[in-house]
Amino acid sequence: MKSGQNGIQIAAPEKDLRDPSLYVNRELSWIDFNQRVLEEATDPLAHPLLERIKFISIFSSNLDEFFMIRVAGLDDQCAAGITERSVDGLTPMEMVEKIREQVSEQLRQRNACFFEVLYPALRKKGIEFVLTSSLTPHQQKVLQEFFREEIFPVLTPLAFDTGHPFPFMSNLS
């Protein structure tokens, strides 16, 4: 018993704070968060079609960053031979394995949502993804003119050679 304010006796908890079950793994918790983002894309009653597409995009963007930062860090730990367990009881290799299992299932869900539900719904609304090779000659000409007049003028050419190496480009540039 400890004495608190005004002489009130406070009982200290008798839990072992080294118990891994008391802790939530940061990476696995983040994967659970991103699952909730994905679930927003799968709920037709909660959001209109294009908002659901945005949630798929946010989910995928989040996952890209997660792998570039957090999983890359775990991979570095594995490559360095680190086998020490974190407070949640997992080694870096065990974390990577759990991440792989959960993310594989999430990617299956994302693909099913997009290809079986959202893409067909987009097509019903007249929105399609097409290959340029499937366009008529007139459509290809219109597309080329659009590129030449709207996109090409804002591109920045970069020259490089042995004296001027290719410039640094950050991830997802």
Query: Per-residue pLDDT tens for 109-152?
Result: 999 999 999 999 999 999 999 998 999 999 999 999 999 999 99
10: β partners: 2
Give dist(CA 83, CA 76) in Å, integer: 12
Residue 140, in any domain of the structure:
no
Residue 34, in any domain of the structure:
yes
Expressed as residue numbers, the domain containing 38 is: 23-127
Give dist(CA 115, CA 63) in Å, integer: 19
**Dihedral angle sign, alpha carbons of residues 46, 48, 51, 56:** positive
Is residue 59 scored above 80 in pLDDT?
yes
pLDDT for position 148: 95
- Does residue 163 sit in helix, strand or coil? coil
How much is the average pLDDT of 67-84?
95
pLDDT for position 172: 65
Rounded mean pLDDT of the chain?
89
Helices 49-66 and 92-112 sit at what angle, rounded to 10 degrees? 160
Domain of residue 73, CATH code = 1.20.58.310
**How many structural domains is the chain composed of?**
1
CA-wise closest residue to 65 among 106, 39, 34, 110: 34
The whole-model pTM stands at: 0.73
**Dihedral angle sign, alpha carbons of residues 111, 106, 72, 64:** positive
Residue 150, in any domain of the structure:
no
Least confident stretch, 15-24, 78-87, 89-98, 114-123: 15-24
CA atoms within 13 A on the CB side of 41: 26
pLDDT for position 20: 72
Residue 166, in any domain of the structure:
no
pLDDT for position 2: 60
Burial (Cβ within 10 Å: 0-12, 13-18, ≥19) of residue 35: middle
Higher pLDDT, 9 or 28: 28
- Tokens 């946010």 belong to 58
